[in-house]
Amino acid sequence: MSRVLILIAAAFQAMAPAGGTMRHAPGADLIFVPPVPDDQPAPVGGEAECLALDQVRATRIIAGTGIVYKVSNHRQFINRVRGQGDALTDGQVLHIRSKGPLLCAGDVVYLLDGLTGASVSFVGLGRFERYDAPVARRR
């Protein structure tokens, strides 16, 4: 019986990473950002330096302009990234490595290819501006 327990313990030890700590699966913290048509947001009063990550319900990229963070049905913020705004294109995935519960101006967001998951670029966040999305046209 003790040999069986020793073999089971050895099997678990072999499955654990070398550092002894379990790591999460690669890509487990990725956020999918579906492509959207090019549209220009209309800024509305109100700015914020940081957003609480647990309150962000959805994100999307507006190519060449910025990243939209939806906080509620009636409240959205756009972040016009610092520099390299042209790096934002349709079909990219945002990868955020946060050090806490807030996403703030100055934080870095990595842009991954939506098909391969390969790192494409990175952008620095600016201030979050509240905005109303353009009204969708009915067909």
Tell me the C-alpha distance between 23 and 70, whole Å: 30
Question: pTM surpassing 0.85?
Answer: no
Domain positions in the chain are 25-132
Please count the CA atoms within 13 angstroms of the CA of 131 that sit on its side-chain side: 19
Tell me the C-alpha distance between 81 and 54, whole Å: 21
pLDDT tens by residue, 95-106: 988 788 999 999
pLDDT tens by residue, 16-42: 555 555 555 555 555 555 554 444 444
H or E segment to which residue 109 belongs: strand 108-113
Q: Quick one: tokens of 39?
A: 């549209």
